[in-house]
Amino acid sequence: MIRLERVTKSYGPKVAVDALDLEIPAGELWGLVGPNGAGKTTTILVAAGQSVPDSGRALIAGHDVHAAPLAARAALGFVPQETSLYRYLTAQEFLDFVGEVRGVPADRRAARIDELLALWELEDARHKLLGQFSVGMAKKVALSAALLAEPPALILDEVFAGLDPRAVIRLKEVLRARRAAGTAVLLAEHVLDVVENLCDAVAILAGGKLRTVLRGESLRAVTAPGGPGLERAFLDAIAAPSPG
């Protein structure tokens, strides 16, 4: 559902992502972790079609994000690390616009907007300009926009940052529900406890390369009582020699 094939991306002499292969199936929630400068955000931007790789390609639901951008984006909900919204629209206006662009019928659109604003306790702020929103409130609106059309793929970059504890709990519930509904989720996250408790698989990046993927039995062996824990596995993976 979310697939990267031999993706390489450089910024001048620095190779941010190096020949990266990654595939997130439908109905699985994957965490993408790594130290600062590992290439997580570059990976996310390429996967979401926001950055053009030097080589390789990204696909969403089988659609190349650059060769078939409309089809790929129709299947994707994306929340970047830095939330940027239309400052002079209200939350209601913005979400209605997103829903219309995404082809959500008007009656369903209205119901979904009501559901999402209630989820994040933003009903009283629906007619407030987005430029007046706090960081956490803006993040909730960006999440609402990504979830509005219930796309089959979600790509999220550090989405828990700036959220209050109740919103963090609700977001975890939403992501588990979307996974159960068959959505593929790629979550870039720096808090390992969040990843360990939420994700079906963990991809560890360092130096722009994929060091390891913990999934199924390998992840359970790490996180089970008496296991080394994800923190230890993370440190071991990034300390290992870089694969050629």
> What does the pLDDT look like over 173-197, one tens digit per residue?
999 999 999 999 999 999 999 999 9
Q: Domain spanning 2-83+151-239 has what CATH number?
A: 3.40.50.300
Given a cut of 50, the residues of the chain with pLDDT beneath it are none
Q: Are 199 and 30 in contact (CB under 8 A)?
A: yes
| Residue among 81, 83, 84, 85 nearest 190 (CA) | 81
What value does the CA radius of gyration of the chain take, rounded to a whole number of Å?
18
What percent of the chain clears pLDDT 90, i.e. is strictly above it?
95
- Res 9: pLDDT: 97
- Res 149: pLDDT: 97
- Res 84: pLDDT: 85
Could you give the 3-state DSSP secondary structure of residue 194? helix
- Res 83: pLDDT: 85
Helix residue ranges per DSSP H, the chain: 40-47, 69-74, 91-101, 106-119, 135-147, 165-180, 192-198, 217-223, 229-239
Q: How far apart are CA 12 and CA 27, in angstroms?
A: 37
- Res 41: pLDDT: 93
- What tokens were used for 53? 């790789």
Q: What is the DSSP letter of 128?
A: S
- Res 244: pLDDT: 61
Query: Which residues are CB-neighbours of 235 under 8 A, at least 6 positions away?
Result: none
| Residue among 72, 24, 17 nearest 43 (CA) | 17
- Res 82: pLDDT: 87
- Res 28: pLDDT: 97
- What tokens were used for 141? 């609106």
Q: At what angle do helices 165-180 and 135-147 cross, to 10 degrees?
A: 10
